[in-house]
Amino acid sequence: MNKKGLAILMRTRMRPTDSTKLTLSPLTNEVNQMAQNSQPNRSSPRVSQFQGNKNLNASSNTEREFELVRESMHSAISMNKTEVLDSVLNDFSEGYSSLDHENRQRLLLLLAKEYDLNRAQVRELIKQYLGLEVPSGLGENAESSTGVEDEALLSAFYRIERNLRHALKPVYEVLFERLNTHPGGLKVLTVLRADILSILAEENIASLRALDSYLKEKLGTWLSPAALELHQITWDDPASLLEKIVAYEAVHPISNLIDLKRRLGVGRRCFGYLHPAIPGEPLIFIEVALLKDVAQSIQEVLWDDPPIPECEATCALFYSISSTQPGLSGINLGKFLIKRVITLVKREMTHISKFATLSPIPGFMQWLLSKLASQSKLAEAEYVSLSSVDSSGSAFWENILEPEEEKALMDLSEGVATGKNGMEVMLNLLNSANYEWTNSSELLSALRSPLIRLCARYLLQEKKRGKALDSVANFHLQNGAMVERINWMADRSEKGLRQSGGLMVNYVYRLENIEEYAQSYFSKGHINASADLHRLVKLKEQGERTD
Amino acid sequence: MNKKGLAILMRTRMRPTDSTKLTLSPLTNEVNQMAQNSQPNRSSPRVSQFQGNKNLNASSNTEREFELVRESMHSAISMNKTEVLDSVLNDFSEGYSSLDHENRQRLLLLLAKEYDLNRAQVRELIKQYLGLEVPSGLGENAESSTGVEDEALLSAFYRIERNLRHALKPVYEVLFERLNTHPGGLKVLTVLRADILSILAEENIASLRALDSYLKEKLGTWLSPAALELHQITWDDPASLLEKIVAYEAVHPISNLIDLKRRLGVGRRCFGYLHPAIPGEPLIFIEVALLKDVAQSIQEVLWDDPPIPECEATCALFYSISSTQPGLSGINLGKFLIKRVITLVKREMTHISKFATLSPIPGFMQWLLSKLASQSKLAEAEYVSLSSVDSSGSAFWENILEPEEEKALMDLSEGVATGKNGMEVMLNLLNSANYEWTNSSELLSALRSPLIRLCARYLLQEKKRGKALDSVANFHLQNGAMVERINWMADRSEKGLRQSGGLMVNYVYRLENIEEYAQSYFSKGHINASADLHRLVKLKEQGERTD
């Protein structure tokens, strides 16, 4: 290939739509974005392409293919352990990847239902189990009984309990176990799970949910974080690996290999977690920028040329963490990642002393808009029914704005903003088409204070089951970070405005506090934050108390 | 360190007794020898050293240590999932490795008994389960029922079945699972299992056997062969890795690092299977010699200087396979190893066309001596009771010798060999002190024919559960090898004479047949062998038919 051809190739967009190179990939390219709660893209190009093909082919052809895959699946499950399985497992893996969306769904449902557990056997074993005599002092955790007779009786318990435990495993576990020990099989399992998840997103089917829960449990135990290898990704890595980075970067999309080259060049680092059973494809990767100081906007970070020589850098900024396997959703692979990267960078560059992130706040706007909508509606209702000036009498209603914020929003010039109260004005502004509010200095200045303050509240106080509501916040807090600073207009991209109102947050990792912070977050749900952020949150609390 | 000091260090024997450098190792250095059915060495130096220490320490001190380990174990199991476990797991791992034999045993028994499953909970869930109404057509693998009501009913089944499955897991599974995801934890688990096995070898305790069976199952699923990495071990590898090779070489012991250097030098290769969670320690390794032709004796292979330049080699001879982890006994890690090594060698050296082994026959003498003893006794009994010349009338009795072999043995000069029949003479000769028979050309020539022929019978016809009785034969046959040739006086070492009467066997791997042979061995127990070997076995069969 000549130089020009190569240049064109390098500039070609390599986003997920170009999935022909990924020989085995889930049908819907629903990238598992740690940073986003995005909805699966159900009308992905790949699916429609498949549907197109199907119409061209005779449907009997497809049916025959389906039957072949079904047969190989059956063989893979029912063959005797001692027979040679490798070719059967290969047949199944290849066959499955060639199936279209509809037939994958058929096959997975069939797997979930027809290879479920053997309930007759379970009942038989239960009968045997209930027939056993309980040895003396063997209720739960017997401490005293160690007699020889008890040991003999225990043997019977152990045997039937073991059999019952095995009988309670669905028959499809055999397929999972065999694929796990087969080269390339773990990858097939992640694709199966990605497909199951995308079907479940459309329809909640109990047997498929059971299949998913079982497979998730298995994948979790097979993909031990202790077995993951930290690998520094560089421009010297194979293109087949690099294209995965381009395809899966979920936070700040990379448009082509040229773009990627900058992210691997001077002043940047990229590290990936690789599992030996899924070679050449990092399961999760993290991008680092070496900077003079903790960056306040993503524009500074993604700037083409590094502003300073590496030796002058004092801060390593983690600006993007992406996982590549939609099928591993819900399985914590990031454990140790940050800590190991920090250790590595520190060893290589002793002049780096600050470790921080510049992170999106993916759930912020969703939370804020629904809060504004419900509260401004409540405010109206209260106003109509009670005509009460002191609406704080209602347990449900809360003006989430400070008095001066309310005033600033209500004082905005006519026509620009409408609403019966500050919250409704804010809601309408934030919902305006094309984020018009970002083009007016008047609107920006009225929104700045409430957006930053409410973002602090969202990050520090909004929780779900004792953990931070925001998924990225939860990730960093459980790794032992603290919330340092909220940055105004830090990401003006469409996605940045839609998800976080343009805000970004710096989480800071201090090596001396990582363990302590992680522990207090885990055990008490305590969120460590800078004095500035605490002040923002307390302002409102004090205001309420003096009301 | 000066040159002389280094030279002395290099010559120091580094066999298992020097286990101070292996920070975490099972107490008894019972090397898991694939090639041997050796009995665990219960009086290993390590144990006695520990017992010595114990006597020096105040026993209250030991007791306090034990209590600390017990506490960390309890925390590791009972702590909430969301708490930080890392330090607790480290405490447990370090504490456990510092315990002596007796206290490890106490702790493991305690783990097996006090962290067993919660039987009250199991009974409660069983009650709930039996109370569920079986949906229509949901006996075993329901195919027809797909109604919405059935899906709802199924949900209840799935839920309780899942709970029951979890309740049937012993409480100690938590410790295993947590260690598995903890850096270094998998190594700790293999040490735990090695210790359990060594206790079970002394005493069969039901609860401990249940613990072992559960841990073995877990280790088997975590150590997928697909996750193992093939690594060529060279003199450039860290000494900490190389010393493991010296310590664990089970077939042809290596006396020191100098000796090892030869095995990694010109004309030799060494490959290891590494697991990312147990870094720097191959779980299994294989040694290869590059030769002009398939070697007939181990002396040729272990010869100091390679007889030919590498480029003239046409044969890659696998002369030693050892596994390093006694705690992984019974878990097949060798899968794919041979095939992957062949592929690697073939790619590097296209002039190599033969792939063979020179293997011990570890079970041969044990089988032969017990056969000779029982048959010669039977022969005597038959002779006394029936005085029958045609003793073949008995279903139990069989003269395993050919007439001319019988004659040659009975014709031996007086005083050298005694016995009422050929088998007794052979038994007495083979049992003679210091293998005296190997020093007499008369005895060697009388024993040669029956030993080789009976070895062929042992390898090709003696089976256990449809598989070759000999463990090394079984390993290579299931990998797709064929039995090529039996070599006379191929290993004159004490071990070689004791285990295999000095015989060694060549298994040959032909790439074009590997799959087919493995399959026919797996499915039908068919053992592929050369025409020469078949002839040796058929000789006797024909002899019997014409009797």
Task: Provide the CB-side half-sphere exposure for B315 (13 A, CA).
Answer: 18
Q: To the nearest whole angstrom, how far is the Cα of B84 from the nearest Cα of chain A?
A: 6
Q: Is B274 helix (H, G, I), strand (E, B) or coil?
A: strand
Dist CA B299 CA B502 (whole Å):
12
User: Among partner residues B184, B226, B277, which is closest to A185 by beta-carbon distance?
Assistant: B226
A chain contacts of residue B122, beta-carbon cutoff 8 Å: 129, 161
For residue B230, the chain A residue with the least C-alpha distance is A276
Element (H, E) at A229: strand A229-232
What's the rounded Cα separation, in Å, for the pair B198 and B162? 35
Query: What was the pLDDT predicted at A337?
Result: 86
Segment B388-400, tens digit of pLDDT: 444 444 556 778 8
Confidence (pLDDT) at A73: 87
- Give the residue numbers of B annotated as catalytic, written as ranges: 359, 476
Mutate which of A85, A111, A124, A161 to test chain B, going by most B C-beta atoms within 10 A?
Answer: A161
DSSP state of A34: T
Contacts of A115 in chain B (CB under 8 A): 141
For A359, list phi and psi in degrees, rounded to 5.
Answer: -120, 150
C-beta contacts of B45-52 below 8 A and 24+ residues apart: B45/B17, B46/B16, B46/B17, B46/B19, B47/B101, B50/B100, B50/B101, B51/B100, B51/B101
B chain contacts of residue A142, beta-carbon cutoff 8 Å: 113-114, 116
- Among B125, B132, B165, most A C-beta atoms within 10 A, so best to mutate, is B165
**pLDDT of res. B32:** 37
The pLDDT tens digits of the residues spanning B431-482 come to 988 899 999 999 999 999 999 999 999 999 999 988 999 999 999 998 899 9
How far away is chain B from the Cα of A113, in angstroms, using its nearest Cα? 7
Q: What is the DSSP string of A265-306?
A: STTEEEEEEEBTTBTTS-SEEEEEEEESS--S-HHHHH-SS-
Rounded Cα distance between A507 and A491, Å, is 16
Asked if ipTM goes beyond 0.90, one says no
Which member of B83, B206, B519 has the closest CB to residue A154? B206
With 70 as the cut, is the pLDDT of residue B136 above it? Answer: no
Please check whether residue B539 is in contact with residue B400, taking contact to mean a CB–CB distance below 8 angstroms: no
Contacts of A381 (CB under 8 A, 6+ apart): none
pTM: 0.76
Residue among B285, B286, B307, B107 at smallest CA distance from B188: B107
Q: How many CB atoms within 10 Å of residue A8?
A: 11
How many residue pairs from chains A and B have C-beta atoms closer than 8 A? 173
> For residues A247, A249, A254 and A258, what is the CA-based torsion angle, rounded to 10 degrees?
-70
B82 vs A169, A186, A522: nearest CB: A522
Please tell me whether residue B189 adopts helix, strand or coil conformation.
Answer: helix
How close, in Å, is residue A75 to chain B by CA atoms? 14
Using a CB-CB cut-off of 8 Å, the residues of chain B touching A169 are: 165
pLDDT the model gives residue A307: 67
pLDDT at B58: 60
> DSSP secondary structure string, B491-504?
--SHHHHHHHTT-E
Confidence grade of residue B35 (pLDDT, cut at 50, 70, 90): very low
Q: Is A468 helix (H, G, I), strand (E, B) or coil?
A: strand
- Residue A141 to residue B126, Cβ atoms within 8 A: no
Contact B152 A206 (CB under 8 A): yes
CA neighbor of B329 nearest in space, from B467, B219, B206 = B219
Please state, in angstroms and rounded to a whole number, the distance separating the CA atoms of residues A172 and B141: 12
Contacts of A468 in chain B (CB under 8 A): none
Q: Which residues of B touch A183 (CB under 8 A)?
A: 226, 336
Of B84, B161, B162, the CB nearest to A518: B84
pLDDT of residue A290: 92
> In 3D, which of B188, B192, B191, B208 has the Cα closest to residue B200?
B208
Kindly state the average pLDDT of the residues B297-320. 84
CA distance to partner chain B, nearest, from residue A125 (Å) = 11
C-alpha span between A373 and A352 (Å, rounded) = 45
- Nearest CB among B84, B155, B224 relative to A180 is that of B224
**A118 and B141 in contact by Cβ < 8 A?**
yes
CB within 8 Å: B158 and A207: yes
State whether A515 and B158 contact (CB < 8 Å).
Answer: no
pLDDT tens, position by position, for chain A (547 residues)? Answer: 344 433 333 333 333 333 333 345 665 443 333 333 333 333 333 333 444 444 555 677 788 888 888 888 888 888 766 555 778 899 999 999 999 999 999 999 999 999 999 888 999 999 888 888 665 545 444 444 445 567 777 888 899 999 999 999 999 999 999 999 888 999 999 999 999 999 999 998 999 999 999 999 999 989 888 888 899 999 999 998 998 999 888 778 788 788 888 888 888 999 999 998 898 899 999 999 999 999 999 888 887 566 688 889 999 999 999 888 889 988 877 767 888 899 999 999 999 999 999 999 999 999 999 999 988 777 777 655 554 444 444 556 778 899 899 999 998 877 777 888 899 999 999 998 889 999 989 999 999 999 999 999 999 999 998 899 999 999 999 889 999 999 999 999 999 999 999 999 999 999 888 888 988 898 888 999 999 999 998 865 554 444 4
The pLDDT, as a whole number, for residue A142 is 44
Radius of gyration of chain A, Cα coordinates, nearest whole angstrom: 28
From the candidates A83, A116, A513, which should be mutated to test the interface with B, based on the most B CB atoms within 10 A? Answer: A116
Q: Can you tell me the mean pLDDT for B398-411?
A: 89
Of chain B, the percentage scoring pLDDT greater than 70 comes to 80
From residue B71, give the alpha-carbon distance in Å to each of A283, A380, A526, B67. Answer: 36, 59, 27, 6
pLDDT tens digits, B201-236: 999 899 999 999 999 999 998 988 888 889 999 999
Interchain contact, B142 vs A275, CB within 8 Å: no
Cβ separation B224–A186 shorter than 8 A: yes
Dihedral sign for Cα B229, B233, B239, B245, please: positive
CB A284 within 8 A of CB A334: yes
Residue type, A446: A
Tell me the pLDDT tens digit for each residue of B226-281. 888 899 999 999 998 998 999 888 778 788 788 888 888 888 999 999 998 898 89
Nearest CB to A206; choose among B158, B182, B207: B158
Q: Are residues A246 and A254 in contact, defined by beta-carbon separation less than 8 angstroms?
A: yes
Q: Which residue has the higher pLDDT, A363 or B540?
A: A363
Name the catalytic one among A44, A252, A476, A500. A476
Query: pLDDT tens digits, residue range B322-343?
Result: 888 889 988 877 767 888 899 9
Minimal CA separation from B424 to chain A, in Å: 39
> Is the Cβ–Cβ distance between A74 and A91 less than 8 Å?
no
Task: Tell me which DSSP letter residue B135 carries.
Answer: P
Q: Are strands B315-323 and B354-357 parallel, antiparallel or unpaired?
A: parallel
Which residue from B82, B122, B151 is facing A206, i.e. has the nearest CB?
B151
Q: Is A525 helix (H, G, I), strand (E, B) or coil?
A: coil
Please indicate whether, in this complex, the C-beta atoms of B221 and A180 are within 8 angstroms of each other. Answer: yes
- Catalytic residue, chosen from A359, A376, A471, A500, is A359
At A6 the pLDDT is 36
Instruction: Answer whether B151 sits within 8 Å of A226, measured CB to CB.
Output: no
Within 8 A of B171 by CB-CB distance, chain A residues are 141
